[in-house]
Amino acid sequence: MIRLSHLAILASTFLTILSANQVTAATLNGEEPIVIGHRGASGYRPEHTLASYELAIDMGADYIEPDLVSTKDGVLVARHENEISETTDVATRPEFADYQTTKTIDGVEVTGWFTEDFTLEELKTLKATERIPDIRSESATYNGMYEVPTLQEIIDLTEQKSLETGRTIGIYPETKHPTYFDSIGLSLEEPLVATLEANDLNDADDMVFVQSFEVGNLQYLNTLTDVPLVQLYDEATVQPYDFVASGSDLTYGDLLTPEGLTEVAEYADGIGPWKRLIIPAETVDLNEDGEPDDLNGDGEISDADRVLQDVTTLIDDAHAAGLLVHSYTFRSEDYFLAPDYEGNPELEYEQIFALGVDGVFSDNPDVAVAVRDRVSEPIPEPTTLLGLSIVPFFQWLRRRQAKR
């Protein structure tokens, strides 16, 4: 014990020197920004599979991000949506043909197959598929190989990989459509907290963030758990769905103002804004035909045709309210990149890290980690022989501390 506290004192002396660089100085806590493997390493494997999460960890992601929905028997599983025809082979399975139905989810009519109509046992017979095979054809070659994982299986994976890699791997679960799941008697928060508790992951210093696009369920979670909570933000004109359901007029835009952020800081520890709320991008009409220009000539208007605009003050405003900023979603394909980056996804990470973001949700964690490590490189002091040999030790120690 004496030895440990001694080390901590020694370390703190050096930490100031080692973190004296532009990127870490601009983050809320002066720590390196974290890389969150968005749905795993979903640029390379069908999303929300153990294979996708494991690859993200192997690529150096600090956290992996499962989106959580419920089965009929109340088990939390990872799918981007409760409607699963885009991410599993369910539509090809005759035994489940009569499970196809139409429902209204958050005010939108959706036809397909829904996790809440399947028992875990039934769901486990399905195989995951690539959601956007036209853009991610390589990932689609893994179709049919993996199951839909439960939250517990994902936690087990992080524990196994933490032992294997010597890094503590975090989880960053998202509760999906909490108002909807409440309405069908399958509330998400209680089983989530029970699972965290059962795995001794329910304390403020555990490597867990819980995120949601809704507000009320985060406020409720704040009464159930000490793990940090993150308010996700959609476009400014959109309303959190629980606000729609309760008849409130408030939008994400209202939660973006300094006053709104102060309110969010009452229950949340961070915000997860769409990156365009930090670095806006707009289509252009240079040929003045009244239509947005198809800048890359692929016949459709996508992020590749939206030109970057002046950055907003959101990161500074959130930091002023004491909130971490973890922004989404960073993707390497040209289809998703603003033309300003000229096909080089590293430039986008460099830009957002220089603005002081505290973390990024990335479909390509290998690229995110490479840039993060490069731009967070500490100034190489101390330069004595002793100093040189202990620098990696203090880097390791600082990383450990950053993850607490």
**Residue from 287, 383, 384, 389 binding Ca ion (CB under 5 A):** 287
Site membership for Ca ion, residue 47 (CB under 5 A):
no
Closer by beta carbon to Ca ion, 197 or else 259: 197
Query: 221 to each of 180, 201, 217, how far by Cα in Å?
Result: 16, 14, 6
250-259 burial code (b ≥16 CB/10 A, e <16): ebbbbbbeee
Q: DSSP alpha helices (H): ranges in 268-384? A: 314-320, 345-354, 365-375
Closer by beta carbon to Ca ion, 95 or else 289: 289
**Residue from 121, 164, 235, 291 binding Ca ion (CB under 5 A):** 291
Residue type, 252: Y
- Least Å distance, CB 347 to Ca ion, is 19
**Residue from 226, 282, 285, 381 binding Ca ion (CB under 5 A):** 285
**Residue from 67, 81, 116, 206 binding Ca ion (CB under 5 A):** 67
- Least Å distance, CB 53 to Ca ion, is 13
CA 324 – CA 271 distance, rounded (Å): 6
Kindly determine how many residues on this chain lie close enough to bind Ca ion according to the rule CB under 5 A.
14
Beta bridge partners of 78: 68
**Residue from 58, 106, 147, 293 binding Ca ion (CB under 5 A):** 293
Q: Beta strand pairing status for 229-233 and 270-273?
A: parallel
81: which DSSP letter? S
Stretch that binds Ca ion, among 7-15, 66-74, 95-103, 164-172 (CB under 5 A): 66-74
279's torsion region: left (phi>0), alpha (psi -120 to 50) or beta? beta
Q: Mask 180-219, x = binds Ca ion (CB under 5 A)?
A: --x----x-x------------------------------
In the block, which residue shows the tokens 């289509």?
Answer: 283
Closer by beta carbon to Ca ion, 287 or else 383: 287
**Residue from 32, 54, 81, 174 binding Ca ion (CB under 5 A):** 174
Site membership for Ca ion, residue 296 (CB under 5 A):
yes
CA 114 – CA 99 distance, rounded (Å): 8
Site membership for Ca ion, residue 134 (CB under 5 A):
no
| Strand, coil or helix: 112 | strand
Do the Cβ atoms of 273 and 324 come closer than 8 Å? no
Instruction: Name the residues that contact Ca ion, by CB under 5 A.
Output: 67, 174, 182, 187, 189, 285, 287, 289, 291, 293-294, 296, 298, 305
